[in-house]
């Protein structure tokens, strides 16, 4: 566990240059869709892609907003063509990519592909270093709308002569220039850089989303660690630029039902891209129900507020504590329709989670708030001054939407919900 003093963290963040998001006309909101890697790794082909797209339609996932189907690594032949072009694997994609993307588009989906900023992809296929312009053109010619761009097999320093930022900027420039010359929308550009070079600081000037941490695993330890990391950088996510917490593992591995809910809730409310990594043909109705929570997805896709929720109190740890096993528990943020709260039980046993409403900066003192539970889909009365979520299961979550419901009841005592330095008009303590 790592402890940070609040003043130290404030000093660090004060020195961070605020970069405006890449407003290039695409990816204003976090992407919703499917990515092949977690379910299939290299075992992909055109039949799997089309079957997955069909399942997304039949299971109702497209209806709730999932509109991307993205290939990951291993789609190519090992070597480029004699003309220096990338080539789809002829056994796995015998019909070619123009046919595949046309079918996806006809089904109402956007199509995504994978590339790498180095000599090779992470699985050893041809990378795009020094081929950025021709590869961007190729991806567009094939009909793709989205590019996930990885960071393996980095050229030696005396060849690249630039840092990670510059290496990713090369493809960003190629995409921007291609859009200018063709008049078509630029590819959505997703940086898969793992966060080792503080990509969350500069990513918004280069791409539409950026990976903040290592590859996710289908267990609670991995999910908790990623939530912990993102708790310190939520300010870098907004319209057109999103902290990418990696592919959704909902329904995979040994995750419990409550852990799946917490995983999905955190990714959605923290405005990460939501790319399903589950084999949909084997997904249970409970998993599809989690992925289809319209009220949670509405926060992810809020057209008025693009910012992530942020912690207002860490909970079992002192504020500004970095703890990969026990991340912040109390989160909130604004939305078009009210203040969103996420209460996360990071303990291995059930717990009550209590907070004073005005601990959230988005809540006004002296007001009462209607309470909407975004998982039970019920209106649960009115909260005055504080709220307690009782018996939240281990690794479970409560997601709430609080709406202003007018002045709190008259003559409520004490006169301040937070007693510290509360004073009457004449400056005296109300109890004196």
1 pLDDT band (50/70/90 cuts)? Answer: very low
Backbone φ and ψ of 407, nearest 5°: -60, 145
Tell me, what's the pLDDT at 383? 98
Pairing between β-strand 338-344 and β-strand 330-335 as defined by DSSP bridges: antiparallel
**Is there a contact between 368 and 409 (Cβ–Cβ < 8 Å)?**
yes
432 pLDDT band (50/70/90 cuts)? Answer: low
395 CB contacts (<8 Å, ≥6 apart)?
220, 224, 256, 258, 259, 262, 345, 346, 347, 348
Q: Which of 173, 215, 319, 373 is catalytic?
A: 215
Tell me, what's the pLDDT at 73? 98
The model's pLDDT over 125-145, given as tens digits with 9 standing for 90+, comes to 999 999 999 999 999 999 999
Q: Distance between CA atoms of 24 and 202, rounded to whole angstroms? A: 16
What is the CATH class of 310-407? mainly beta
Q: Distance between CA atoms of 114 and 141, rounded to whole angstroms? A: 15
Ramachandran category for residue 395: left, alpha or beta (phi over 0 → left; psi -120 to 50 → alpha): left
User: What are the domain boundaries of the chain?
Assistant: 32-301, 310-407
268 CB contacts (<8 Å, ≥6 apart)?
274, 293, 296, 297, 299, 300
Q: Distance between CA atoms of 76 and 114, rounded to whole angstroms? A: 10
Tell me, what's the pLDDT at 11? 41
Q: Distance between CA atoms of 327 and 213, rounded to whole angstroms? A: 15
31 CB contacts (<8 Å, ≥6 apart)?
68, 146, 188, 190, 209, 273, 274, 275
Lowest mean pLDDT among 14-23, 34-43, 199-208: 14-23
409 CB contacts (<8 Å, ≥6 apart)?
368, 384
Tell me, what's the pLDDT at 194? 82
The reply to whether 32-301 and 310-407 are identical in fold is no
* Mean residue pLDDT across the chain: 94
The model's pLDDT over 266-309, given as tens digits with 9 standing for 90+, comes to 999 999 999 999 999 999 999 999 999 999 999 999 999 999 99
CATH superfamily, domain at 32-301: Aldolase class I (3.20.20.70)
Token code pair at residue 19:
């970069």
Among 88, 97, 90, which residue's Cα sits nearest to residue 140? 97
Residue 145 sits at the vertex; the CA angle it makes with 140 and 151, to the nearest 5 degrees, is: 85
Residue 221 annotated among the catalytic residues of the structure: no
The model's pLDDT over 154-188, given as tens digits with 9 standing for 90+, comes to 999 999 999 999 999 999 999 999 999 999 999 99
Tell me, what's the pLDDT at 136? 98
Average pLDDT of span 391-404? 98
23 pLDDT band (50/70/90 cuts)? Answer: confident
Give strand pairing partners of 238: 241
Given a cut of 60, is residue 12 above it in pLDDT?
Answer: no
Q: Distance between CA atoms of 203 and 271, rounded to whole angstroms? A: 15
Q: Which of 72, 73, 145, 150 is catalytic?
A: 150
The model's pLDDT over 246-269, given as tens digits with 9 standing for 90+, comes to 999 999 999 999 999 999 999 999
Higher pLDDT pick, 6 / 366: 366
417 pLDDT band (50/70/90 cuts)? Answer: confident
Among 199, 201, 226, which residue's Cα sits nearest to residue 210? 199
Q: Using a pLDDT cut of 90, give the percent of the chain over it.
A: 88
Q: Distance between CA atoms of 364 and 186, rounded to whole angstroms? A: 42
Residue 215 annotated among the catalytic residues of the structure: yes
Average pLDDT of span 305-328? 97
């Amino acid at each position: 566990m790592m402890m940070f003093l609040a003043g130290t963290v404030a000093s660090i963040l004060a020195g961070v240059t605020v970069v405006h998001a890449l407003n290039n006309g695409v990816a204003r909101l976090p992407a919703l869709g499917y990515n092949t890697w977690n379910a299939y790794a290299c075992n992909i082909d055109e039949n799997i892609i089309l079957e997955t797209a069909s399942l997304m339609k039949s299971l109702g996932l497209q209806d709730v907003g999932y509109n991307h189907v993205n290939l990951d690594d291993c789609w190519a032949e090992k070597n480029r063509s004699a003309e220096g072009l990338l080539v789809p694997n002829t056994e796995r994609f015998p019909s070619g990519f123009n046919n595949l993307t046309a079918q996806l588009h006809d089904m109402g989906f956007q199509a995504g592909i994978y590339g790498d900023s180095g000599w090779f992809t992470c699985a050893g296929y041809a990378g795009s270093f020094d081929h950025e312009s021709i590869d961007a053109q190729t991806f567009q010619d094939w009909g793709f709308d989205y590019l996930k761009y990885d960071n393996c097999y980095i050229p030696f320093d005396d060849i690249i002569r630039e840092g990670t930022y510059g290496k990713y900027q090369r493809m960003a420039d190629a995409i921007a220039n291609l859009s200018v010359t063709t008049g078509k929308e630029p590819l959505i550009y997703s940086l898969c850089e793992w966060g080792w070079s503080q990509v969350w600081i500069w990513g918004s000037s280069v791409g539409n989303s950026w990976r903040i941490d290592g590859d996710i695993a289908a267990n609670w330890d991995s999910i908790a660690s990623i939530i912990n990391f993102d708790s310190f950088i939520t300010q870098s996510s907004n319209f057109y630029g999103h902290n990418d917490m990696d592919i959704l593992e909902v329904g995979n591995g040994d995750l419990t039902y409550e852990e799946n809910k917490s995983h999905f809730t955190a990714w959605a409310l923290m405005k990460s891209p939501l790319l399903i990594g589950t084999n949909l043909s084997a997904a249970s109705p409970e998993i599809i129900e989690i992925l289809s929570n319209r009220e949670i997805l509405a926060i992810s896709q809020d057209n008025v507020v693009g910012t992530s929720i942020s912690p207002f109190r860490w909970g079992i740890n002192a504020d500004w504590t970095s703890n990969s096993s026990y991340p912040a528990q109390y989160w909130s943020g604004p939305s078009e329709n009210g203040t969103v709260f996420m209460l996360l039980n990071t303990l291995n046993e059930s717990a009550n989670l209590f907070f004073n409403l005005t601990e959230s900066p988005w809540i006004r003192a002296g007001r009462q708030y209607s309470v909407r539970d975004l998982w039970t889909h019920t209106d649960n009365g009115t909260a005055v001054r504080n709220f307690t979520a009782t018996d939240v299961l281990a690794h479970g979550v409560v997601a709430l939407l609080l709406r202003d419901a007018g002045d709190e009841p008259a003559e409520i005592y004490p006169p301040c919900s937070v007693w510290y330095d509360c004073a009457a008009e004449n400056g005296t303590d109300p109890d004196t």
